[in-house]
Amino acid sequence: MDLLSGELEVEKHVQYILSLEEKKDSLESVAMDYLRMNGAYWGLTTLDLLGKLGTVDRDEVISWVMQCHHESGGFAGNVGHDPHILYTLSAVQVLALFDKLDVLDIDKLSDYISGLQNEDGSFSGDIWGEVDTRFSYIAICCLSLLHQLDKINTEKAVEYIVSCQNLDGGFGCTPGGESHAGQIFCCVGALAITGCLHHINKDLLGWWLCERQVKDGGLNGRPEKLPDVCYSWWVLSSLIMIDRVHWIDKEKLAGFILDCQDKENGGISDRPNDAVDVYHTYFGVAGLSHLEYPGLKAIDPAYALPVDVINKIFFGRK
């Protein structure tokens, strides 16, 4: 495809991500230290998509990841923190990138996750009981990567997710919650992984999703909200999973993402000329991968990991 609106500054983005490691003592970095596991997943996956995962010290990363492992079986966001399902998925995804899932005590981890399932099929984030369809996706994605889906009640899990489906075809965080592209990604992803996409009205949802595209080509997450690069992932992945991605203008979206780069210092922001962060850098690059931007590795829309990583896990080959 013809992308003359701008170039992806690969080297600058790689340097930006690597520099985050060095800036560990900056105020911003210290303030975000409790979610470093998420940050590691965003940064490392982006590097892999750009073909530069080899620039990091694999053993150092894995050693740090395992220091975040809690005796309950879950992972914390950083050393010395409490476990949570959010960081457990990121940890598993990071290990998958390095093909080191074998360092895990899979039974213990699976027990931690299955222990978070509630009677109605929903999942809590941790021992404190917060419920959200995000956690349904996380549980299903994580266990599927470890071939342990049978450890949970998938039928009830699916039932709960379907109960969060709204009339517009979208999904909210809980039943009756406003349809939101992030929640939609989680529900569609969970249904895709469990082989239950037949519960979705793909035409109806596809239309709702393609209506997220605004004039400048970017995507928003709900009607009448501003576009944001992160929706390049949530909306785009969802459209791909239901085979409706051709309903948006892909070229215009790619142009929007490229406009959100900081071409001087690297990194991508939520919308043009805003401050960059690793979260939006990941979603921008992942979105461009979905749009088949040349030179990027393909990324799996449901597992949010490079396709070659997924192939290794499910088919034993790269």
Please identify, using beta-carbon distances, which residue of 121 and 172 lies nearer to other proteins: 172
Distance, CA of 26 to CA of 91 (rounded, Å):
23
**Token pair in block for residue 98:** 């390095």
Q: From the centroid of its chain, how far is CA 212?
A: 19
Going by C-alpha positions, the residue among 164, 195, 194 that lies closest to residue 179 is: 164
Distance, CA of 195 to CA of 299 (rounded, Å):
19
DSSP reduced 3-state for 223 = coil
Residue 133 CB, nearest distance to other proteins (Å)? 11
Angle between helices 278-290 and 10-22 (to 10 degrees): 150
Residue 207 binds to other proteins (criterion: CB under 8 A):
yes
Q: Using CB under 8 A, which of 8, 14, 20, 32 touches other proteins?
A: 32
x/- letters, 99..138, toward other proteins (CB under 8 A): --------------------------xx-xxx--------
Residue 163 binds to other proteins (criterion: CB under 8 A):
no
Residue 308 binds to other proteins (criterion: CB under 8 A):
no
Question: Which residue, chain included where needed, has tokens 């369809």?
Answer: 133
Please identify, using beta-carbon distances, which residue of 55 and 67 lies nearer to other proteins: 67
Residue 12 CB, nearest distance to other proteins (Å)? 21
Contacts for 105 with CB less than 8 Å, ≥ 6 apart: 73
Q: Using CB under 8 A, which of 102, 167, 273, 315 touches other proteins?
A: 167
Q: Using CB under 8 A, which of 222, 263, 297, 312 touches other proteins?
A: 222
Going by C-alpha positions, the residue among 92, 114, 116, 123 that lies closest to residue 105 is: 92
Number of residues that make up the chain = 318
Residue 57 binds to other proteins (criterion: CB under 8 A):
no
Residues that bind other proteins (CB under 8 A): 23-27, 30-35, 64, 67, 76-77, 79-82, 84, 125-126, 128-130, 166-168, 172-174, 176-180, 206-207, 210-211, 213, 215, 217, 222-225, 246-249, 252
